Copies of this chain bind each other. A is one copy, B any other.
Amino acid sequence: MTNGPVTDGKALVAQFVQRLERRDWAGLAELLDPDVVYEIPQSRERISNRDRYVTFNAEYPGDWHLEPQVVLGDDRNGSVLFNWSVGDESSLAIAFFKFVDGRITKITDFWPEPYEPPPGREHLVERW
């Protein structure tokens, strides 16, 4: 198992997803600042503490799995587009990250849900 400090932003995001997927809660905590802030802007939910954030993930219901599609990061910010699946259901989700001294200080999570397109652009757009 690959634990320990990670300094590169892109590698930090990749390790974050991998340790979540493995339910490696100790390894996940190592990537996080003790005062990490986790936010979901869509539901206006916030967790401002590393232990509570790890518990939030450990208690999250269902046999969920994460598959990263795109991982990006520099020395201050990162992002991941990932496929989230539970059983036969799957959807795309996104997280943005802030880093300070090789630890994650902020996570902003997005869970976009399906919607019907507004009228007026049918002449430009195809559906799938």
Contact residues of A with B, CB < 8 Å?
10, 40-48, 52-53, 55-56, 59, 61, 70, 72-74, 77-79, 81, 92, 94, 96, 108, 110-117, 120-121, 124-128
Contacts and interface: CB of A to CB of B under 8 A. Distances in A.
A43 B79 contact: no
Copies in the complex: 2
B124 A55 contact: yes
A56 B120 contact: no
B125 A47 contact: yes
A72 B48 CA distance: 25
A81 to B, nearest CB: 5
A81 B108 contact: yes
A121 B114 CA distance: 24
Contact of A79 (B48, B81, B127): B81
Contacts of A61: 120
B116 A59 contact: no
